[in-house]
Structure 1
Amino acid sequence: MDITGQTRICAIVADPVQQVKAPQLINAWVDKKCVNAVLVPMQVAPAELASWAQAMRGLKNLDGFIATVPHKIAMCDLCDEVSPAAALVGAVNIVRRDPDGRLIGHILDGEGFVAGLRRSNIALEGKRVMLCGAGGAANAIAFALMAAGVAALAIYNRTTAKAQELIDRLKPIYPSGELTLATDSPVGFDLIVNATSLGMSETDPLPFRAYQLVATQIVAEIIMKPALTPVLAVAQEKGCTVQFGLPMLECQIDLMADFMRLGQR
């Protein structure tokens, strides 16, 4: 990679940022496509996100950035415009900087998550799903799962009000769907999704009562580092089918680059 004064820049903003995989994947993409661009990681605390986003407006060689934990919901309000999908979900994970400095947000997490499952030959139609989490990625995944035709979606979050708020936004769009609050028990579900950040640190508690898992269940993760999170390790021991976190991002790379118009200016 030969970085020059003509190289276009994109970024990923997170806190922490050490675990992100987008730099490797995007930079491999630009190398393969012979695009003069580079993605760099940027660690920004939540309290500084608004001022950081404002500064990005003036960076004329910036094509855009990826927003990840914990910034997906907050970034939605910092954009000048968001896609209908992002407005529906209430979060963004990809932002384009237009030449006039305006920030345009979109969400691809749900689409990427479902595509990753399908790539692993995991069917969703008719499944009973337990979703752990109610943050930005969980919101996107919830809408994508309902659109994919799951039979029932139960949402578990430590803050019950956030889970209920997500259900309340889903119900008008999927009025015939079975949408309920869940406890931390995975009993009775076909697919259990960890859409929380629990598992990024070795000291994190498990996101649900994983010891209740049985071999017929599928457990999916959105965390990418470590690849084998504690809950996936338990799921493997129980004989469950497991889905790692990386495919969700891998299935978004072309879409992210296209949305940012990476290297096209």
Structure 2
Amino acid sequence: MDAVTIKGTTRLYAVLGDPVSQVRAPALLNPLFAGIGLDAVLVPVEVSPAGLADAVRGLTAVRNLDGLLVTVPHKTACRELADRVTEAAALSGSVNALRRLPDGGWEGANFDGEGFVRGLRTAGHEPRGATVCLAGAGGAGSAMTVALLRAGAHVTVWDADADRAAALAARLAPHFPGRLVAAPGHVDADLAVNATPAGLRPGDPLPFSPAALRPGTLVADIIMSPRRTALLRAAEESGLAVHHGEPMLAEQITLYRDFFRLG
């Protein structure tokens, strides 16, 4: 990648997270900016949950900042900081992108779910009619649950915080009758997904045991760094097919480009 030239005219984008050492968006979006001749740069911004609201308010005052990407653990909190949200973000209760509104406020959207579903389909895995068990009812997990249900899957969602999973199921069940339940642990499934941060740090426990899954289950992880997470290694050792985290982000690039109106 050629060096980015920063000028006084450069438009700014930031990706908010805690941590941010694992984020891949700058490596994908900065070449996009360069490729379409856009004078813009995306930088990682590490901010704690306690400082998030202050950080977003401060960034709102930066007049040459056009948009924010949001990663763990801020997706749910940033939905509350948005002035308006898309339908998918409203259903999921979380956002992973915020764009500047003409009045200076923020519109939030969440492309995690659609990016994940597109990534599955690109890899030859059709979610329509599939039985999916998904670990994690946080920002990414809630968006992925919405997208999988919209794609025609049947979803069982669970979370270490059982109340959070139950609240997600209660909110979405009227929109997708008979296709969503909150239940502890993984059951027989065509697809088992980790949508939690487990695996981001060395020594993290597995979000579930691949050895307990039936033969033929596809195991997916949204963690992108490391690419081959402990969960995916364990799944391969159990003879199961795996789906890595990168396709979810790669498939979001077109969605970000449209949302931020990039050329």
TM-score bracket for this pair, using the shorter chain length: over 0.9
Task: Indicate yes or no: 2:68 matched with 1:65.
Answer: yes
Q: 2: CA distance between counterparts of 1:115 and 1:86?
A: 17
Are the aligned partners of 2:91 and 2:172 in contact in 1 as well (CA < 8 Å)?
no
Task: Indicate yes or no: 2:107 matched with 1:76.
Answer: no
| Equivalent residue number for residue 227 of structure 1 | 227
Task: Indicate yes or no: 2:75 matched with 1:47.
Answer: no
Identity across matched positions, percent: 45
Amino acid at match of 2:183: A
| Equivalent residue number for residue 29 of structure 2 | 26
| Equivalent residue number for residue 182 of structure 2 | 181
Amino acid at match of 2:184: T
Match of 1:161 among 153, 160, 163: 163
Q: 2: CA distance between counterparts of 1:88 and 1:147?
A: 11
**Structure number with higher relative contact order (C-alpha < 8 Å, ≥ 6 residues apart):** 1
Offset at residue 251 of structure 1 (A): 0.6
| Equivalent residue number for residue 209 of structure 1 | 209
Q: 2: CA distance between counterparts of 1:124 and 1:47?
A: 37
Q: 2: CA distance between counterparts of 1:90 and 1:55?
A: 23
Q: 2: CA distance between counterparts of 1:98 and 1:180?
A: 36
Task: Indicate yes or no: 2:157 matched with 1:123.
Answer: no
Match of 2:151 among 143, 148, 154: 148
Are the aligned partners of 1:214 and 1:239 in contact in 2 as well (CA < 8 Å)?
no
TM-score for both structures, normalised by structure 2: 0.95
Any unmatched runs of 5+ in structure 1? none
Q: 2: CA distance between counterparts of 1:43 and 1:128?
A: 36
Q: 2: CA distance between counterparts of 1:173 and 1:233?
A: 36
Match of 1:105 among 98, 103, 108: 108
Offset at residue 214 of structure 1 (A): 4.2
Any unmatched runs of 5+ in structure 2? none
What SS does the corresponding residue of 1:207 show, helix, strand or coil? coil
Q: 2: CA distance between counterparts of 1:58 and 1:258?
A: 24
Deviations along 1:89-141, one digit per CA (max 9) or x if unpaired, are 11110000234321111111111010000010101122111000010110000
What SS does the corresponding residue of 2:205 show, helix, strand or coil? coil
Offset at residue 57 of structure 1 (A): 1.2
What SS does the corresponding residue of 2:33 show, helix, strand or coil? helix
Q: 1: CA distance between counterparts of 2:110 and 2:47?
A: 20
Deviations along 1:215-240, one digit per CA (max 9) or x if unpaired, are 41100111111111111001111221
Are the aligned partners of 1:94 and 1:105 in contact in 2 as well (CA < 8 Å)?
yes
Q: 2: CA distance between counterparts of 1:215 and 1:31?
A: 45
Amino acid at match of 2:192: I
Q: 1: CA distance between counterparts of 2:204 and 2:183?
A: 21
Amino acid at match of 1:63: D
CA distance 1:176–1:215, change in 2 (3 Å)? closer
Offset at residue 19 of structure 1 (A): 0.3
Offset at residue 187 of structure 1 (A): 4.5
> Which 4+ stretches in 1 moved above 6 angstroms?
none
Are the aligned partners of 1:214 and 1:238 in contact in 2 as well (CA < 8 Å)?
no
> Paired residues, what number?
260
Q: 2: CA distance between counterparts of 1:187 and 1:231?
A: 17
| Equivalent residue number for residue 94 of structure 1 | 97
